[in-house]
Structure 1
């Protein structure tokens, strides 16, 4: 076990540097925190997903720290070098184009590599699109699941939706303006007409939150072409849909013989004894009755 104490006293013997995960504005520059500005001024270097974008931010806040590139296409080469610099005692701030780094971006790999080596990884929190969209969505916030970006191709998209379909939590995902008109009809097809908030241009001048059903959002996009990155906040499975699904799950075996029922479970884990037990539970029978029925075949 590795225990990190992020704010060690000055007399501590730490010789390695610290990796700061610094949040940047998702649109409105006024969302930059005082602490984020201070950290970016104090570190030895800043690792950015898009150096051109980050230079604009640094210029606005008069930050002159050294800037290096770290993104999906160079992380295999840049990552080990950044770790080496951290181990040599340099402090590094990791930033993404917007919002919290290491969420749906390659910064997660660098943060994990640093943590595995016992290096200090410190969050400098700030703006986040997913949470911002959630709290204005009008949907339940007690439990939620962030699912990143949906797959582009239909087959993996269907598999992705299948894995998420039965979650009762509010589901949050990102989608591009070029894909959203294709993705929403597939969600409607697979999940039905759930409540949704379609949020775009968060914190910017044209911030927009469209709340309604999936079919209503599809109709809205037909009249208002998609512009800007979208955050979709979708209601989880609940009510009659959840009850119907549970009923369907409970009766999947009704068309099977006892022997076929046991064979189904045995194929899952190769344990015939456990398969007999599970089939007995499903059918409300004694285990010995299922055993006798199977063994006489």
Structure 2
């Protein structure tokens, strides 16, 4: 396989090794160099697939210095792949400065599609996915978490966070304090792995489940919070859901939402969005 000289952004599995693409394997086999967040961690993955390409470390502490060296490799006609420990590089992982520097130097950056924990978890969450905001990791200090969550309190989009197991209880407590105990959340743990788990419900209930079960305080975690809803939107389910369901049985959801909106004096867009959320 002949590769054009470029920096290739290569996603790697977030758990199940079978999720790596055949194209990713081809690229990793044929580039001149693989820049890894952790060469020892990635070495296990590469060894599993028989990939013997030379590796170099590129992480938060050396990325700026390493970028110039990698640009020099590109100028010599060598192609380079960037991988992180798991998932798509740059998504809460190193790589931003490298990509920016490579583009500024005039060399192409070629992304491969592939695994991403945030998107994978969102697709199975049951939360609205038409608009969402990926917020990375919440701050480690309580005040920072509360300040961040308070800023996001009235954001109507689904909020997505990564969290570490030793901070999950503290982060759930902060969400409860800042967003309220009734805010609907989904906690996805160990996605694509053997012990994959999804917990959903009001944050107060999910918090109690996590506190009472130490197994829920292990592994890789994606936290997703339903976006802010006005009082009118929050009341939709109790007031008009039955009518909306009956209409949707006979009509397209958009038409059903428009008619229900006329009946109850509600916005059709809000009813349509609610219909999507409950699977109509």
Alignment TM-score > 0.5, same fold: yes
What range is the shorter-chain TM-score in?
A: 0.7 to 0.9
- 1:88 and 2:79 aligned: no
Candidates 4, 12, 21, aligned match of 1:33:
21
What are the residue-to-residue correspondences of 1:40-189 with 2, within 5 Å? 40-189=28-177
Q: Which residue of 2 aligns with 1:18?
A: 6
Q: Which residue of 2 aligns with 1:204?
A: 193
Which SS does the other structure have where 1:58 is aligned? helix
Distance 1:91 1:38 in 2: 13
In the alignment, the residues of structure 2 paired with residue 119 and residue 111 of structure 1 have an alpha-carbon distance, to the nearest angstrom, of: 10
SS in 1 for 2:160: strand
Shift of 1:181: 0.4
Structure 1: segments with no counterpart, 5+ residues: 1-9, 244-297
Give 1:228's match in structure 2, choosing from 219, 223, 230: 219
Per the TM alignment, residue 83 of structure 1 is displaced from its structure 2 partner at its CA by 1.8
Q: TM-score, normalised by structure 1?
A: 0.74
- RMSD over equivalenced CA pairs, Å: 1.8
**Which 10-residue stretch deviates more, 28-37 or 55-64?**
55-64
Residues 58-67 or 28-37, more deviating: 58-67
Structure 2 distance, partners of 1:87, 1:240, is 58
SS at match of 2:127: coil
Structure 1 residue 161: Cα displacement: 1.1
Aligned positions of 1:265-276 closer than 5 A: none
Distance in 1 of aligned mates of 2:232 and 2:115 = 35
Question: TM-score normalised to the size of structure 2?
Answer: 0.79
Q: Which contiguous aligned blocks of 4+ residues in structure 1 show a shift greater than 6 angstroms?
A: none
Give how far 1:242 is off: 8.0
What SS does structure 2 have at the residue aligned with 1:138? coil
Which runs of 5 or more residues in structure 2 are unaligned? 235-280
Q: Pick the structure with greater CA Rg.
A: 1
**What residue in structure 2 maps to residue 265 of structure 1?**
none
Question: How many pairs are equivalent?
Answer: 230
